[in-house]
Structure 1
Amino acid sequence: MGVGFCMFLGRRFAIASESYLASRAGFEAYKLGGNAVDAAVCASIVLTYTLPHLGGVGGDLLALVHRGGSVDAVLGLGWAPRRVPERPPARDLQSAVVPGYVAGLYELHKRYGALEWGRVVDVALDAMAQATMHPSLVSAIEKNEALLRGDPGGRVYLELPRRPGAPYRIEPLLRLWERLRDDPLSFYDEVAEDIVALGHFEPEDFKLYRPEVRRPISVKLGDAVVYEAPPPSLGFAVLLAAKLAKPAASPFSYERIKNTVAALKKAHWARDRYLHDGNVPVDDLLSGKIELGEALRPAPTPGTTYLAAADGGQVVSVIQSLYYPFGAGVTTAKYAITLNNRASDFTDGLNKAAPHKRPAHTLSATVVERGEEVYALGASAGHYRPAIYAQLIHNLVVYKMAPRDAVWAPRFIWLGGDEVQAEEGYEQEPGVHLVKYPSRLGVAALAYKGLDHVGAVADIRGDGIAIGI
């Protein structure tokens, strides 16, 4: 057995996340006889407690599962209530959709897990009982103090210690997971009554909601096949950016920045024009049958957390999110469910708000097949996701970096026009604004299985570890 920190290499199982406690809990679930999905589900539950401002239970979940040579996409993306306004606000109760997280997570486990659901939740509850404050949670509370003070339920976070490493308990969340241990889908019935009591939502909005399991979308890139989630995920924009970005002589050159930005302008144009909860001409976009315009800039949005796990039979790529930190700024008192603000991403035209419709979504997760190797990779990124994911994919596939180097390498985001923000290590040229390395330009993770081993990498930009056996 071996235990790693930011990188792990082993023979049977590996996991990486943005939380040291979540990764460890996933490891414990695997040791009980679970598989990579059980481990990922357990880690995901712990993330709702250690990073509740990012991946809370009131948000959404998306996962890609590679097993037996095929890939499935599990979409726990929430839909709008019947009373959704035509133009939802950026925050408050009317900015929320029905949370898809619990239904998506349970569907992921039900289809692909090996342990009983209750045992997985028990491991997560044991970990949460031992929780210590993560630096990123302390920082998020301090930055969003005014928002939390204006949210009666959100004041539960203001009662937490403001010191990294300090023990803490969020009793309402512990009670919630104790209840969901025995009946996860009660979230959409009895538990939902507390959300309905706030106004805006109706019981049927929850009772009718179902997650989806669909085929992923993909492109061939060099000697690899890259899989992504289908719409309403922006996965096709990730694939488009990765496909259109021309390789450069050096991975940290101004040439690479220029080539990637040129691809991002087209990918974001396609996203803005076509992405919605309906029929999107993905094949025509990826095959070049549609002439692409250029977007002026992406829309900056934070608030996701990503994890990856692998064993000899499965590779799992999972992302969850409230959207903005602390989502809508609305938290229920009984169970401390902080609601998402995903409805704020409805726009006009194809993406116009409507009852029981999903908004255009920033969540996506990637799986890469390359010969005998299968990788799960992703990052927190919001609408910067095509930029960060295209770099991670190219680091592996085009520049042939080792997994650790692919995740830890300096990266950049496209700000608009020809302007980028880049970490130290890139060439500084006109329009390139350098920031100290490592920055918070997305927190990534990676897990993979090869012919005779598995591995995982946690990002030094976050609070996580890689661990395995």
Structure 2
Amino acid sequence: MASRPVRIFAEQAGRPVVMGRRGAVASGHPLASLAGLEILQRGGSAVDAAVAVAAALNVVEPHMSGLGGDLFALVYEGGSGRVYAVNGTGPAPRAATIDRFAQGIPERGPLSASVPGALSGWIVMLERWGRLDLASVLGPAIRLASGGFPVSHNLSAYLEAHQPLLAEFDTSRRVFLPGGAPPRPGQVLIQRDLARTFELLARDGHDAFYRGPVGQEIARACTAAGGLLDEDSLNAFRAEVVEPLSISYRGYQVFAPPPNSSAHVLLQELLMFSCFEPARYRPLSAELIHLMVEIKKLAFADREAYNGDPRFSGPLPDFLLSSEYARQRVQLIDPERARAEVPAGAEREGDTTYFAVADRDGNVVSVTASINMAFGSGFVAGSTGVLLNNRMTYWHLDPGHPNALQPGKRVRHTISPALMLSDTHALAIGTPGSDGQVQTIFQVLVHVLDYGLALQAAIELPRWRSFAPGHESNWPHGERDELHVEGRMPNQTIEGLQARGHRVVRLGKWGPIGSCQAVAVDLAGCVFQAAADPRSDAYALAW
């Protein structure tokens, strides 16, 4: 991807950037990326391939996303030059009220599940931008689920760590703990119930899930186990196409989904960083990371004050994405000291997955999908093979908060895909990581656009993630005040951050903090570049 600034230092990536002339896919698992490439090679659009990737990830990366979860997507139409956002996030069940959860919302189990929106998001995208039928697009996932796939070291470790959760429910135990134990690396995992569900969806589409046999079984199993996800809640849902948010940054137009996504935080971070001269700071220096962390804190404070479902609380205030407001906010930053308390601003008068796909016609899709925490609710709904989300844990139970729980309302999401356009280039980028998503993307974009790093090198650089009191998505909020850094971060940087008052927690060499994937397109030359994060099973392919 072309970059405007002069390269300040060289950083050799451990993986190559994958390049091609006809299309590219980057996702959280090689078999899912291969599913997307197969669809592109059969003449499918970027959206066809993206849905194939999403379905395949449900099978091979079940702890991150799937039919039981949600998504936000950004779609760039190569022909029209327009960008659209797709909101595939489901609302709270109709019986979910603050009074019902007076003792708190359970973190796991069927009561933690909201309406799954992902399948509806897939269908809405295919209806508008797809070329192939649903059966063709779901074909790779059906084969992987029915025939099985080798469990990766990463998935095996997740299954081992979450064995007690999965063992709580008979349906989950049968799927993910065959023989009573987590599959070892290389052992084949078969999901026949999920394969049958995909086959039903391939035949009957949206209605099979939200009004037909799949939805009926989900509702039956969930309510029988004490959950609130019923048929009426499923019947009422359909994903929608909405206008994205956007700002200008370093010669690019940066697009992100609107609330109930938290992606506006990334846009605010970039606007605030644009108030500074990057040449004054060296990459990975304490001075630069301190500045970016303090910017992050300011943007998160605004999220807490203003972000909610716009159907209930109104749209995001316009001033949050103005350059004038960004200049006002950065005046609060002390270059030598970390802030412990960060106020929200006001207008002055006067575990998730990410994937990106691009096709030969210049269409680009950027998707973040999630069941919230690893393995979501932990509850597989009856005979469907569908692992339900635990997104209810993000609701506030204070009636005056913009993210306060109401029946039929969509919760504030951390899902934050991004898409960037210039006259000659497009870039789709994102990562899993809950509140870390907008922090990881911020770091990668600054290193690419402000410091001239190649895309893969920027993804592999050591990362940080900030935790601040009152800023976490889960309710009640955590009170950690910590700055996590990967172990490859220079000692001098860590010492400089500590001297500024940051409580630094040093992780392993590769964290992991996030798992960033990206696809870049030279629109004029029709050259595709794809990059994938070595912190996970992620893999990039191009042709």
TM-score (norm 1): 0.93
Give 1:381's aligned residue.
Answer: 433
How far off its partner does 1:127 sit?
4.0
Check the 8 A contact 1:6/1:466 in 2, yes or no. Answer: no
Between the two proteins, the alignment pairs up a number of residues equal to: 460
- 176, 189, 193: which is aligned to 1:157? 176
Residue in structure 2 matching 1:344, options 389, 393, 407: 393
1:394 alignment partner in structure 2: 446
Q: Choose from 469, 489, 500 the match for 1:425.
A: 489
Which residues of 2 match residues 84-95 of structure 1 at below 5 A?
84-86=96-98, 87=101, 88-95=105-112
Q: Deviations over 1:88-134 (max 9, x none)?
A: 33222222111001001111122112222211111332344352112
2:354 counterpart of 1:322 = no
Q: Distance in 2 between matches of 1:296 and 1:92?
A: 34
Equivalent in the alignment of 2:256: 228
Could you tell me how far 1:70 is from its partner in structure 2?
1.2
Taking the aligned partners of 2:148 and 2:216, their CA distance within structure 1 comes to 30
Residue pairs, 1:45-444, within 5 angstroms:
45-67=55-77, 68-86=80-98, 87=101, 88-128=105-145, 129-155=147-173, 156-159=175-178, 162-185=183-206, 186-189=208-211, 190-197=213-220, 198-199=222-223, 200-245=228-273, 246=276, 247=278, 249-278=281-310, 279-287=314-322, 288-289=324-325, 296=341, 303-312=351-360, 313-347=362-396, 348=398, 349-416=401-468, 419-423=482-486, 424-426=488-490, 427-429=493-495, 430=498, 431=502, 432-444=504-516
The secondary structure found in structure 1 opposite 2:483 is strand
**Do the aligned partners of 1:319 and 1:364 also contact (CA within 8 Å) in 2?**
yes
Contact map agreement 2:259 2:316 (CA 8 A) in 1: no
Cα 1:120/1:281, change in 2 over 3 Å: closer
The one of 4, 29, 36 aligned to 1:26: 36
Q: Given that residues 244 and 256 in structure 2 are in contact (C-alpha distance below 8 angstroms), is that contact kept between their aligned partners in structure 1?
A: yes
Q: Which amino acid aligns with 2:108?
A: R
Give the 3 Å change call, closer, same or farther, for CA 24–217 of structure 1 in structure 2: same
Distance 1:207 1:134 in 2: 36
Report the AA paired with residue 23 of structure 2.
Answer: F
Question: Could you tell me how far apart the structure 1 residues matched to 2:134 and 2:386 are?
Answer: 21
User: For 2:143 and 2:237, how far apart are their aligned partners in 1?
Assistant: 30
Distance in 2, Cα, partners of 1:402 & 1:371? 19
Alpha carbons 1:85, 1:94 under 8 Å: kept: no
Larger radius of gyration: 2
Q: Is the 8 A contact 1:379 1:445 kept in 2?
A: yes
Distance 2:234 2:144 in 1: 29
Equivalent residue, structure 2, for 1:39: 49
Task: Provide the rounded CA distance (Å) in 2 between the counterparts of 1:77 and 1:306.
Answer: 15
Question: Which whole-Å deviations, capped at 9, do the CAs of 1:404-441 have from their partners, x for residues lacking one?
Answer: 11222221101337742112134222133333332210
Deviations 1:152-188 (A, max 9, x none): 2210211175222222211111111111111121111
Q: In 2, distance between residues paired with 1:6 and 1:230?
A: 33
- Partner of 1:182: helix, strand, or coil? helix
Partner Cα separation in structure 1 for residue 256 and residue 518 of structure 2: 15
Check the 8 A contact 2:218/2:382 in 1, yes or no.
Answer: no
Cα drift, residue 69 of structure 1: 1.5
**Which deviates more, 325-334 or 211-220?**
325-334
Residues in 2 aligned to 1:6 and 1:415: alpha-carbon distance in whole angstroms? 32
Residue identity matched to 1:121: L
Q: Read off the aligned partner of 1:101 and give its amino acid letter.
A: A
- Asked if 1 retains the 8 angstrom alpha-carbon contact of 2:92 and 2:114, the reply is yes
TM-score (norm: length of structure 2): 0.81
Moved more, 232-241 or 426-435: 426-435
Q: Aligned letter for 2:269?
A: A
Amino acid at match of 1:194: E
Q: Is the 8 A contact 1:9 1:455 kept in 2?
A: yes
**AA aligned opposite 1:169:** I
RMSD of Structure 2 on Structure 1 (CA): 1.9
Tell me what 1:300 maps to: none
Change over 3 Å in CA distance of 1:257–1:289 after alignment to 2: closer
Deviation, structure 1 residue 373: 0.7
3-state DSSP class of the match of 1:425?
coil
Checking the alignment, whether the CA contact within 8 Å between 2:215 and 2:231 is kept in structure 1 is yes
Amino acid of the structure 2 residue aligned with 1:178: E
- 8 A contact 1:392–1:406 mirrored in 2: yes
Residue equivalent to 1:445: 517
Unaligned residue ranges in structure 1 (runs of 5+): 298-302
